[in-house]
Structure 1
Amino acid sequence: MSLNILVDTIFVGNWIGSIAIAAINVVLPISFFIAALGMAIGIGGASIISRALGANDTARAKRTFGNQISLTLIITVLCVIVGLTFLQDLVPLFGGKGAIYEPASIYYRIVLYGAPILALCMMGNNVIRAEGAPKHAMIAMLIPSIGNLLLDYILINQLEMGMTGAAWATTASYCCCFLYIAWFFLSGRSELMPSIRQLLPDWNILKEMGGLGFVTLGRQATTSVLYLILNNILLDLGGEDSVSVFGIIGRMMMFALFPVLGVTQGFLPIAGYNYGSGQHDRVREVIYTSIKYACGLGVLILVGLLAFSRNIAAIFTDNTAVVDQATAALNIVFLAVPIIAVQLIGAAYYQAIGKALPALILTILRTGIILIPLLLILSQLYGETGVWISFPIADFLSTLITGYFLYRALNRLKDPVVS
């Protein structure tokens, strides 16, 4: 998935131009929000499913999955209707102004058509993982990655469809992902396929799912707000080139953090299952193991980024001004990547054990509570440099705070009582 986002941006930047990177970056917060809805419902329900399976309550797990399907479809269809109705207002709001507006509008409209499919993919993938089938979850994510790259080449490079081709490549690739996920559940490989009755609302499940899912939605929603604010700040400070720079930085942030997020997502069902079965010693073990390996990945990522920052920036575009700005930004933004695992896994722990409020607070801590205010203040004081230094400062402070609460939570975990 990281490679998909990275290479997709490289293709668009080289085959369409740096303005296309800026245009996609404008639409990205909206795509994030739609994906966040699916992830929120998926992860919120997956926490319930993991604990239900740990307690041998398959009926509750099936009801949860049925409610996930219904809720995802209802919410995303409403989002598509609203999004298309207010297209001319939303695109400029997210920074799609001037030369960026037209390509951003084209991309936005087509990607929005596939929003329900994207959300169902994000939801279904989390359920597959919660059921203990991580290889199928991985395949489901590889399909849109590989499909998008192939379709980019055909639609943009060969058929010269420009932004229209880029948008259809993304939408069609997630349709392929959805077909694989549907096959997994309909082919008998899953024990969770719900009946028609289990699609009907169960308000107790929806309430718990909503509380836990709101954690993920909060994280992704703050990311969307972050992109909205940054696109507008950078457009005012440096014009379209600066928005393109953040397009590159944003893709590299995804690439840098996705391995750590992968460990975090793998951590969630294991922690939830063992917490549900009272195996607190295994919960502690998976916390320590996840942090150790995620921090190790963070160190490797940082070394690679610092060593090849200019080469990385130059892959995306031949615009020298954009490359120069992106190189300087890359050397600042990722300085705290090795320690961010503590913040991500600490927040995920509370989500895994069903504690929605502390999970929400710790999840939005970095982006919503610390980073966005820093950006607004430091961009006024130090311009674009202030924008970039806000990232490692926010990473350090949020890790420090989350680490404190995680340490206290570990001390409160007691060994299971043998009856």
Structure 2
Amino acid sequence: MAKLTSEELGTRSISKLLISQSVPASIGILVMSLNILVDSIFVGNWIGSIAIAAINVVLPVSFFIGALGMAIGIGGSSIISRALGADNKAKAIKTFGNQITLTLLVTITMALIGLYFTDTLIPAFGGKGAIFDPAKTYYTIVLYGIPFLALCMMGNTVIRAEGKPKFAMIAMIIPSVGNLLMDYLFIYVFDWGMAGAAWATTTGYVLCFSYVLYFFLSKNSELKLTPQCLGLNFPIVKEISSLGVVTLARQATTSIVYLLMNNILFSLGGEALVAVYAIIGRMLMFALFPVFGITQGFLPIAGFNYGAQKFTRVRETINTAIKYAAILASLVFLGLFIFPAEIAELFLSNKEGLPEADKAVNAYVLQHTPNAMRWVFAATPIIALQLIGAAYFQAIGKAIPALLLTLSRQGFFFIPLILILPNMIGELGVWISFPIADVLATILTGWYLKKEIRKTLTKG
């Protein structure tokens, strides 16, 4: 495996760098997304469609706590990338130590709070009726593993900031493969039902953490910690927090969206319509993996070159990333537009002897999912500009515009739309809110990014 040093982020061809950074990131995200996708297929076929809806209810809570680790990771990694670009390795190491301490303190506390309020949080996120009991089983077990997930998410971004995307890719693949193997063992062989699905997920988190720990203890990492680095430094914590809040706000907004969507859809069509959204939610995580991979690959390149004041390379990185991401997003759009019914069928069991209630839910889901999926992904070809534009401000350490642009799609546009349109036109109002929000957020981001480039990147 050829090793990429952090210095090469400032010297190699941008196209080659972006590919070398993005392909491993895309593969890692693909495997992780396939894990979520196949996990849902296993659950839907081996347990039932209500179980898919139950997992969909739990995800926003568990992912929010796990995203605390990602927020600390991305916030700190922006500092690390710029510190390495400026040849300040001492600051990079101190930042990493602070990331570890923050992640442990925050996520363990949040996991304990989440467990204490289990019976309140699950119904609030749409876990009502037949969904509540399986959701509670899954939620309780998965929350035990959330601190491990948070450490993995934090560590993964730091590995990428060091210019080691292949190691980051492996770190993402391990929990996915482990989860799927445990799914087969715990659900299919041992017949543990929802508890089996939850323990499989938690086992995957622990396996990932073990690999990330190995990476940083080995000679593969440039960041060699000492106990003193773990002590919190207020200026560093403040900078990590100001940049990490962008990621945290995005995930908090996503959790609010899940809360609203599950409750709105439950009121419109009961558990079956929540199951429709659960399938579409899995595709939102899975289908855009190459675009998210390019965004992940873009961050350390832009951050390093900005820190080194190589503004011509920064501009080239922005343009190249948007171009590649737009092409891939368009291909994703075509696939989802042509085959939505076939995708929906993958998630549903066709076993003989299904209870009539389950058959009715399956029929409803098959009827409603294809049209909904086409609407949800209608504006996919243009989202590259929005994602890369928002990521740029995070990469260069400008927290406020990064926060505002990151929140624009879901917070400023999508949430108001789903609160208004379903009251006017019912279920269709939910689905058309997605492309409208995408278009509005892309226009805003494009305008702001163009203005910023003219202001700060006009000198080479």
Q: Shared fold by TM > 0.5?
A: yes
The runs of 5 or more residues in structure 1 that have no matched partner are none
* Separation of aligned partners in 1, 2:240 and 2:457: 26
- 1:356 partnered with 2:399: yes
Map of 1:271 onto structure 2: 302
Matching residue's letter, 1:193: K
Match among 351, 356, 366 for residue 409 of structure 2: 366
Map of 1:375 onto structure 2: 418
Match among 193, 203, 207 for residue 176 of structure 1: 207
Map of 2:241 onto structure 1: 210
Deviation of 1:415 after TM superposition, in Å, equals 5.3
The 8 Å contact of residues 279 and 415 in structure 1, kept in 2 or not, is answered as: no
* Separation of aligned partners in 2, 1:33 and 1:272: 25
Query: Residues 14-25 of structure 1 correspond to what in structure 2 (within 5 A)?
Result: 14-25=45-56
Flag the 1:175–1:381 CA change in 2: closer, same or farther, 3 A.
same
Q: Secondary structure at the match of 2:372?
A: helix
The runs of 5 or more residues in structure 2 that have no matched partner are 1-31, 350-361
* Separation of aligned partners in 1, 2:219 and 2:423: 57
Deviation of 1:174 after TM superposition, in Å, equals 1.1
The 8 Å contact of residues 347 and 359 in structure 1, kept in 2 or not, is answered as: yes
Map of 1:391 onto structure 2: 434
Matching residue's letter, 1:51: R
Q: CA RMSD in A?
A: 0.9
The 8 Å contact of residues 47 and 351 in structure 1, kept in 2 or not, is answered as: yes
The 8 Å contact of residues 69 and 153 in structure 2, kept in 1 or not, is answered as: yes
- 1:408 partnered with 2:451: yes
Matching residue's letter, 1:316: F
Deviation of 1:193 after TM superposition, in Å, equals 2.8
Query: Residues 8-407 of structure 1 correspond to what in structure 2 (within 5 A)?
Result: 8-318=39-349, 319-407=362-450
Deviation of 1:36 after TM superposition, in Å, equals 1.3
* Separation of aligned partners in 2, 1:35 and 1:329: 29
TM-score by length of 1: 0.98
Matching residue's letter, 2:101: S
The 8 Å contact of residues 278 and 416 in structure 1, kept in 2 or not, is answered as: no
* Separation of aligned partners in 2, 1:108 and 1:65: 30
Deviation of 1:5 after TM superposition, in Å, equals 1.2
Deviation of 1:189 after TM superposition, in Å, equals 1.2
Q: Deviations over 1:277-334 (max 9, x none)?
A: 0000010011011101111111110110111110000110141211111111111110
Q: Secondary structure at the match of 2:288?
A: helix
* Separation of aligned partners in 1, 2:217 and 2:340: 46
* Separation of aligned partners in 2, 1:416 and 1:404: 20
Q: Deviations over 1:34-82 (max 9, x none)?
A: 2210110000000000000001111100000000000000001101111
Deviation of 1:158 after TM superposition, in Å, equals 1.1
* Separation of aligned partners in 2, 1:114 and 1:175: 7
Q: Deviations over 1:57-113 (max 9, x none)?
A: 111000000000000000011011111111111111111111100000000000100
Q: Deviations over 1:172-217 (max 9, x none)?
A: 0111011000000001211213211110010000000000000010
* Separation of aligned partners in 1, 2:53 and 2:227: 44
Matching residue's letter, 1:126: T
The 8 Å contact of residues 67 and 206 in structure 1, kept in 2 or not, is answered as: yes
Matching residue's letter, 1:264: T
- The alignment covers a number of residue pairs equal to 417
The 8 Å contact of residues 51 and 273 in structure 1, kept in 2 or not, is answered as: yes
Q: Secondary structure at the match of 1:102?
A: helix
* Separation of aligned partners in 2, 1:247 and 1:84: 23
* Separation of aligned partners in 1, 2:246 and 2:335: 31
TM-score by length of 2: 0.90
Deviation of 1:265 after TM superposition, in Å, equals 1.0
Matching residue's letter, 2:216: F
Deviation of 1:416 after TM superposition, in Å, equals 5.2
The 8 Å contact of residues 333 and 389 in structure 1, kept in 2 or not, is answered as: yes
95-104 vs 187-196, which deviates more? 187-196
The 8 Å contact of residues 101 and 230 in structure 2, kept in 1 or not, is answered as: yes
* Separation of aligned partners in 1, 2:457 and 2:315: 10
The 8 Å contact of residues 66 and 107 in structure 2, kept in 1 or not, is answered as: no
The 8 Å contact of residues 280 and 414 in structure 1, kept in 2 or not, is answered as: yes
The 8 Å contact of residues 65 and 111 in structure 2, kept in 1 or not, is answered as: no
The 8 Å contact of residues 186 and 192 in structure 2, kept in 1 or not, is answered as: yes
272-281 vs 34-43, which deviates more? 34-43
* Separation of aligned partners in 2, 1:36 and 1:335: 27
Deviation of 1:258 after TM superposition, in Å, equals 2.5
